[in-house]
């Protein structure tokens, strides 16, 4: 390696390390605050290392707010949504890619167009509709629409189905299999990686969703973590250690998910954006 | 020549047979099958998109508070909007955040992606570090930054104080609240960084090699190879940036609630307040339609001026 290259790499590492510190510092602050006493939180100048380390903040979080209940609600809503969204999208994507019929292209463009429509436009009539059905204040507005599929997941799965050779379906058809059987027994098992990517994204969206629970969950016993933590922040202004502990716990499943599914995740981010 | 017509007739003939017997039946069956498979989405499209879009347009011409029936008032919501000083302010704030925030985030994420595209030890670790903040739930990130930016107890002002600067009130100072929001949003550039990384990996290495042979220096290689090859990805990130920035709600709702003195009252937040706090559903629907128009105009303008985007001729 020439000395010029060495210098270049040295510079790259230096910049990357400084940048990484900037990106990591807020995390460190979150961890540090979550372990402070109420008094240390308001120390001037701010302290980074809590003394004493208040592990009890985490158990206080469980007793002072209905954290377990919020967690349970979040898990319930998220898991149901993922199953509904991915299941229905897998079926819909089949109709958009493995069966040829007139009108398919037009409807698919409609589906793509819904991805650009600002959600604010449909938000109010949807609210009115759910209000009239008596669903406001229940989980129904959060999970029922999932049965109709997600445009993003349909798009992703359709791309994937398209890469499966048509001959496989044809030979099954000759053997007398119905389209539903082909879908269930051949396409779905082959599409496992794409189903995993779609599940990952929908998991994160619903786990972190704030606006929909904020609008529809009027009863605080049904709050998800996102709404529950926000409420805590507006009602108890000095609850910072608890808030940071809660934020950390809410982030944890997603961070873990990211670590274990890093490849799927990054592939999903890049392909979902680019292969249009 | 003699054979061609007969072939054509045979083909036409067999086609006719197919049309009159098997194929139409199969086509009809396939149409029903296709519709059956897409029916979950089709129902959702009608119920959760088409109907709401029409209803929203109708509401935008009414006075509607959910409790009593909508009352037709013509264009009054729209004319009211333009005489509502807060509406102008929210538009200004939204555009401010977009015009300043999007370029910062586009450039920063491109720079990081280019650095991380080098063959490095610990490359995976670095990528993870830069990407991770973008998967932190918006609620958690907003709560974190609210506290991180605290003028008295937060670390940012402490650092500034140590180098002799009296840090501003950030989220509590109307002059600093918008820049503070942009600063906090830059923490999440990891998402667009990953998309740039994917784009960079698609740039064919021979292009760099031949540019190198032609004596192009690093800047010229970036300017004449990387940038044009990456332009579709830049366009994508720009469009996504505009869409998300026009609709940004959660982080601002939690970090400032629109304050101080409406300096961060953005479009989506004001719309939410009108709809779900003041129950002015008609007024909020008019706002939603104006947002749709603004978004459409912005996107059309971008696609119209996207001559700088270089598309590979598909072979």
* DSSP per-residue letters across B47-87: IIIIHHHHHHHHHTTEE--SSSPPEE-TTHHHHHHHH-HHH
Q: What is the pLDDT, as a whole number, of residue B312?
A: 65
The residue count for chain B: 315
Q: What is the pLDDT, as a whole number, of residue A262?
A: 74
Q: What is the pLDDT, as a whole number, of residue B284?
A: 97
Rounded to a whole number, what is the distance in angstroms from the first to the last CA of chain A?
A: 41
Q: Do A117 and B49 touch (CB under 8 A)?
A: yes
A119 contacts in chain B (CB < 8 Å): 247
Least confident of A257-261, B153-157, B294-298: A257-261
Alpha-carbon distance of A166 to A45, in angstroms, equals 67
Phi then psi for B280, rounded to 5 degrees? -95, 75
B12 vs B104, higher pLDDT: B104
Torsion-angle region of A149 (φ positive above 0: left; ψ -120 to 50: alpha; else: beta)? left
Q: Report the pLDDT averaged over residues B13-40.
A: 75
B183, B3, B64: which is closest to A124 by C-alpha? B64
* DSSP per-residue letters across B134-153: GGS-HHHHHHHHHHHT-TTT
Q: What is the pLDDT, as a whole number, of residue B123?
A: 84
Q: What is the pLDDT, as a whole number, of residue B215?
A: 87
* Residue B78: CB atoms within 10 Å: 15
Q: Report the pLDDT averaged over residues B58-81.
A: 95
Residue window 270-299, chain B: list those with CB within 8 Å of chain A: 271-272, 275-276, 281, 284-285, 287-289, 291-292, 295, 299
- Distance from the B61 Cα atom to the nearest Cα atom in chain A, whole angstroms: 13
A259 contacts in chain B (CB < 8 Å): 128
B293 contacts in chain A (CB < 8 Å): none
- Distance from the A250 Cα atom to the nearest Cα atom in chain B, whole angstroms: 7
Work out the pLDDT band at B3, boundaries 50, 70, 90: very low
Alpha helices in chain B (DSSP H): 3-20, 22-45, 51-59, 76-83, 85-116, 123-131, 138-148, 155-162, 177-186, 190-201, 205-213, 218-221, 227-247, 250-255, 267-272, 281-304
Q: List beta partners, residue B284.
A: none
Q: Do A46 and B158 touch (CB under 8 A)?
A: yes
Distant-in-sequence, close-in-space partners of B315: CB < 8 Å, separation ≥ 6: none
Q: Report the pLDDT averaged over residues B34-39.
A: 96
Chain A interface mutation, best of B143, B197, B212, B267, highest count of A Cβ atoms under 10 Å: B143
Work out the pLDDT band at B24, boundaries 50, 70, 90: confident
- How many interchain CB pairs under 8 A, A with B? 260
- Distance from the A210 Cα atom to the nearest Cα atom in chain B, whole angstroms: 7
Least confident of A75-89, A173-187, B7-21: B7-21
Q: Please determine, for residue A230, whether its predicted confidence score (pLDDT) is greater than 80.
A: yes
Q: Please determine, for residue A233, whether its predicted confidence score (pLDDT) is greater than 50.
A: yes
Rounded to a whole number, what is the distance in angstroms from the first to the last CA of chain B?
A: 34
Average pLDDT for chain B: 89
Phi then psi for B237, rounded to 5 degrees? -65, -35
Work out the pLDDT band at B315, boundaries 50, 70, 90: very low
Alpha-carbon distance of B212 to B218, in angstroms, equals 9
Alpha-carbon distance of B82 to B106, in angstroms, equals 32
Q: Within an 8 Å CB–CB cutoff, is residue B45 touching chain A?
A: yes
Taking a C-beta distance cutoff of 8 angstroms, is the pair A143, A81 a contact?
A: yes
Taking a C-beta distance cutoff of 8 angstroms, is the pair A119, A209 a contact?
A: no
Q: Please determine, for residue B2, whether its predicted confidence score (pLDDT) is greater than 60.
A: no
Q: Please determine, for residue A121, whether its predicted confidence score (pLDDT) is greater than 70.
A: yes
Highest mean pLDDT among A99-103, B106-110, B198-202: B106-110
Q: Please determine, for residue B21, whether its predicted confidence score (pLDDT) is greater than 80.
A: no
SS3 for chain A is CCHHHHHHHHHHHHHHHHHHHHHHHHHHHHHHHHCCCHHHHCCCCCCCCCCCCCCHHHHHHHHHCCHHHHHHHHHHHHHHHHHHHHHHHHHHHHHHHCCCCCCHHHHHHHHHHHCCCCHHHHHHHHHHHHHHCCCCCCCHHHHHHHHHCCHHHHHHHHHHHHCCCHHHHHHHHHCCCCHHHHHHHHHHHHCHHHHHHHHHHHHHHHHHCCHHHHHHCCCHHHCCHHHHHHHHHHHCCCCHHHHHHHHHHHHHHHHHHHHHCHHHHHHHHHHHHHCC
Alpha-carbon distance of B287 to B249, in angstroms, equals 15
Q: Do B27 and A101 touch (CB under 8 A)?
A: yes
Sign of the dihedral through C-alpha A85, A90, A96, A101: negative
- Distance from the A100 Cα atom to the nearest Cα atom in chain B, whole angstroms: 7
Give how far the C-alpha of residue A252 lies from the chain's centroid of Cα atoms, to the nearest Å: 13
Q: Report the pLDDT averaged over residues A252-263.
A: 84
Q: Do A123 and B288 touch (CB under 8 A)?
A: yes
Alpha-carbon distance of A239 to A87, in angstroms, equals 40
Q: Do A16 and B137 touch (CB under 8 A)?
A: no
Give how far the C-alpha of residue B52 lies from the chain's centroid of Cα atoms, to the nearest Å: 22
For residue B129, give the nearest of A24, A116, A270 by CB distance.
A24
Q: Do A240 and B147 touch (CB under 8 A)?
A: yes
B195, B194, B232: which is closest to B314 by C-alpha? B232
Q: Find the angle CA(B67)-CA(A132)-CA(B50) to the nearest 5 degrees.
A: 110
> pLDDT exceeding 70 applies to what percent of chain B?
91
Q: What is the pLDDT, as a whole number, of residue B5?
A: 47
B74 vs B7, higher pLDDT: B74
Work out the pLDDT band at B313, boundaries 50, 70, 90: low
Q: Report the pLDDT averaged over residues B49-63.
A: 97
Q: Tokens 């039946």 sit at which residue? A: B25
Q: B223-279: per-residue pLDDT in tens?
A: 888 999 999 999 999 999 999 999 999 999 999 999 899 999 999 999 999 999 999
Q: What is the pLDDT, as a whole number, of residue B125?
A: 87
Q: Please determine, for residue B4, whether its predicted confidence score (pLDDT) is greater than 70.
A: no
Q: Report the pLDDT averaged over residues B208-223.
A: 87
Q: What is the pLDDT, as a whole number, of residue B110?
A: 95
Q: What is the pLDDT, as a whole number, of residue A270?
A: 62
A-chain residue closest to B246, CA distance: A118
Q: Distances in Å between the alpha carbon of A131 and those of A66, A135, A242, B268, B275?
A: 27, 6, 34, 21, 13
For residue B129, give the nearest of A20, A41, A42 by CB distance.
A20
Q: A20-72: per-residue pLDDT in tens?
A: 998 999 999 999 999 998 888 888 788 888 888 889 899 988 988 899 999 99
Q: What is the pLDDT, as a whole number, of residue B12?
A: 53
Residue window 207-266, chain B: list those with CB within 8 Å of chain A: 232-233, 236, 240, 243, 246-247, 249-250, 253-254
Taking only Cα atoms into account, the Rg of chain B, rounded to an integer number of angstroms, comes to 27
Average pLDDT for chain A: 90
Q: Do B254 and A251 touch (CB under 8 A)?
A: no
- Distance from the B197 Cα atom to the nearest Cα atom in chain A, whole angstroms: 8
Taking a C-beta distance cutoff of 8 angstroms, is the pair B116, B189 a contact?
A: no
- Distance from the B138 Cα atom to the nearest Cα atom in chain A, whole angstroms: 7
């Amino acid at each position: 390696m020439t000395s010029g290259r060495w210098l270049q790499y040295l510079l790259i590492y230096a910049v990357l390390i400084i940048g990484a510190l900037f990106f990591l510092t807020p995390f460190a602050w979150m961890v540090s605050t979550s372990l402070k006493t109420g008094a240390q939180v308001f120390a001037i100048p701010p302290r980074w290392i809590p003394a004493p380390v208040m592990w009890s903040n985490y158990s206080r979080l469980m007793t002072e707010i209905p954290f377990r209940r919020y967690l349970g609600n979040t898990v319930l809503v998220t898991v149901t949504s993922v199953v509904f969204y991915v299941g229905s999208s897998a079926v819909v994507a089949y109709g958009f890619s493995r069966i040829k019929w007139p009108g398919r292209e037009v409807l698919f463009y409609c589906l793509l167009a819904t991805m650009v429509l600002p959600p604010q436009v449909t938000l109010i009539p949807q609210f009115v509709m759910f209000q009239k059905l008596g669903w406001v204040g229940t989980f129904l507005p959060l999970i029922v629409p999932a049965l109709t599929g997600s445009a993003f997941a349909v798009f992703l799965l359709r791309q994937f189905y398209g890469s499966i050779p048509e001959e496989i379906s044809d030979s099954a058809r000759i053997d007398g299999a119905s389209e539903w059987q082909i879908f269930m027994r051949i396409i779905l098992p082959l599409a496992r990686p794409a189903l995993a990517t779609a599940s990952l994204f929908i998991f994160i969206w619903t786990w972190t969703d704030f606006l929909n629970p904020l609008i529809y969950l009027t009863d605080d016993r049904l709050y998800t973590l996102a709404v529950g933590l926000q409420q805590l922040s507006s009602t108890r202004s000095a609850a910072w250690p608890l808030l940071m502990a809660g934020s950390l716990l809410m982030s944890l499943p997603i961070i873990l998910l990211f670590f274990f599914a890093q490849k799927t995740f990054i592939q999903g981010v890049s392909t979902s954006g680019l292969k249009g | 020549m003699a054979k061609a017509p007969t072939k054509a007739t045979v083909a036409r003939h067999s086609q006719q047979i197919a049309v009159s017997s098997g194929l139409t039946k199969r086509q009809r069956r396939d149409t029903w099958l296709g519709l059956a498979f897409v029916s979950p989405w089709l129902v959702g499209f009608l119920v959760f998109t088409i109907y709401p879009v029409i209803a929203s347009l109708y509401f935008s011409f009414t006075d509607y508070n959910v409790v009593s029936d909508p009352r037709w008032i013509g264009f009054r919501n729209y004319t009211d909007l333009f005489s509502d000083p807060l509406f102008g302010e929210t538009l200004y704030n939204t555009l401010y955040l977009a015009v300043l925030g999007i370029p910062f985030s586009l450039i920063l994420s491109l720079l990081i992606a280019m650095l991380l595209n080098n063959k490095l030890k610990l490359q995976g670790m670095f990528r993870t570090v830069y990407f991770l903040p973008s998967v932190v739930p918006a609620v958690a990130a907003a709560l974190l930054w609210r506290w991180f930016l605290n003028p008295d107890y937060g670390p940012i002002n402490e650092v500034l104080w140590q180098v002799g600067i009296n840090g501003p009130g950030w989220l509590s100072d109307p002059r600093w609240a918008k820049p503070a929001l942009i600063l906090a949003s830059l923490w999440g550039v990891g998402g667009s960084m990953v998309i740039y990384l994917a784009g960079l990996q698609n740039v064919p290495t021979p292009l760099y090699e031949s540019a190198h042979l032609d004596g192009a220096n690093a800047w010229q290689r970036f300017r004449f190879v990387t940038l044009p090859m990456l332009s579709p990805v830049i366009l994508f990130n720009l469009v996504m940036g505009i869409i998300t920035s026009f609709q940004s709600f959660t982080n601002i709702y939690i970090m400032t609630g629109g304050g101080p003195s409406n300096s961060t009252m953005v479009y989506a937040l004001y719309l939410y307040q009108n709809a779900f706090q003041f129950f002015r559903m008609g007024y909020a629907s008019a706002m939603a339609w104006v947002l749709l128009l603004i978004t459409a105009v912005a996107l059309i303008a971008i696609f119209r001026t996207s001559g700088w985007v270089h598309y590979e001729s598909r072979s």
